[in-house]
């Protein structure tokens, strides 16, 4: 089919080649807005913004030039390229995290040990805060007893009320510490759960990759002497 088309083009330009002024030049052809083929020794105006073909001196098509992209096509192409870049960045970031994970842990047991070490710090902080709450509750009961001695005798001394207020503030502070540390415990557990799952996934992928048969050709051992070939 290609040879047939090129033969038609050769015949169509035969009369032009008899003209010494154009015989040595190239031609440019396209299908105009009506579908009619238009050619010229320079790109015809009807071909502007359209796909066209460059025809050599021998009537053979030298190259095809695609039509320029429309604004919509350019926008779509830009969006696809941006999505591709974003996916590539995500892939690189995941690879960086995976490399760091493998550099940090050499076995699943390492993850469990670090989880317990991190949880131990948070649990110790919770225990300390609970101890402080017990201490200031005992102190508050002392001030409550002193304040009770003034019932019916007027307001207690300012230092007693200050002792009650200070105890209340300290108890509230330690309760906030406990809430924050309990939230930290949940975050630690979630983090190490993710690390453990990802570590297992990476190791599984590595095992599957190493288990795939090699594409390299296997050598055939020579047949023993006397064997039938």
Q: What is the DSSP string of 127-147?
A: HHHHHHHHHHHHHHHHHHHHH
User: Taking the chain, what is the end-to-end CA distance rounded to the nearest angstrom?
Assistant: 50
Task: Report the pLDDT value the prediction gives residue 74, as an integer from 0 to 100.
Answer: 87
Only one residue has tokens 């490399």, namely 99
Which residues neighbour 156 within 8 Å (Cβ) at sequence distance 6 or greater? Answer: 146, 147, 149, 150
Please tell me the predicted confidence (pLDDT) of residue 214.
62
Domain boundaries, the chain: 2-65, 72-104, 106-202
CB 45 within 8 A of CB 28: no
Q: How far is CA 11 from CA 6, 7, 18, 43, 53, in A?
A: 9, 6, 12, 20, 16
CA distance 119 to 188: 7
Higher pLDDT, 137 or 73: 137
The pLDDT of residue 1 is 43
pLDDT grade for 156, boundaries at 50, 70 and 90: confident
Q: Which helix (H) or strand (E) holds 38?
A: strand 37-40
Q: Which two tokens stand for residue 173?
A: 């502070």
Report CA dihedral (55, 57, 58, 61) to the nearest 10 degrees. -10
Instruction: Kindly state the tokens that stand for 134.
Output: 């017990």
Average pLDDT, the chain: 83
Separation of alpha carbons 44 and 53, rounded Å: 11
């Amino acid at each position: 089919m290609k040879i047939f088309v090129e033969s038609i083009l050769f015949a169509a330009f035969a009369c032009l080649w008899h003209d010494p002024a154009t015989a040595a030049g190239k031609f440019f052809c396209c299908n105009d807005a009506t579908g009619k083929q238009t050619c010229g020794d320079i790109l015809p105006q009807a071909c502007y913004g359209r796909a066209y073909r460059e025809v050599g001196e021998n009537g053979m098509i030298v190259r095809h030039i695609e039509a320029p992209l429309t604004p919509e096509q350019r926008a779509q192409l830009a969006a696809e390229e941006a999505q591709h870049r974003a996916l590539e960045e995500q892939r690189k970031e995941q690879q960086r995290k995976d490399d760091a994970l493998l550099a940090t842990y050499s076995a699943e047991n390492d993850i469990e040990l670090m989880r317990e070490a991190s949880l131990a710090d948070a649990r110790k902080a919770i225990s300390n805060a609970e101890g402080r709450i017990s201490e200031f509750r005992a102190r508050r009961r002392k001030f409550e007893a002193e304040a009770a001695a003034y019932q019916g005798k007027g307001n207690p001394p300012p230092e007693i009320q200050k002792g009650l207020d200070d105890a209340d503030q300290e108890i509230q502070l330690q309760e906030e510490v406990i809430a924050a540390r309990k939230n930290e415990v949940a975050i630690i557990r979630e983090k190490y759960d993710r690390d453990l799952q990802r570590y297992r996934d990476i190791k599984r992928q590595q095992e599957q990759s190493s288990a795939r048969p090699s594409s390299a050709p296997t050598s055939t051992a020579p047949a023993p002497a006397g064997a039938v070939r």
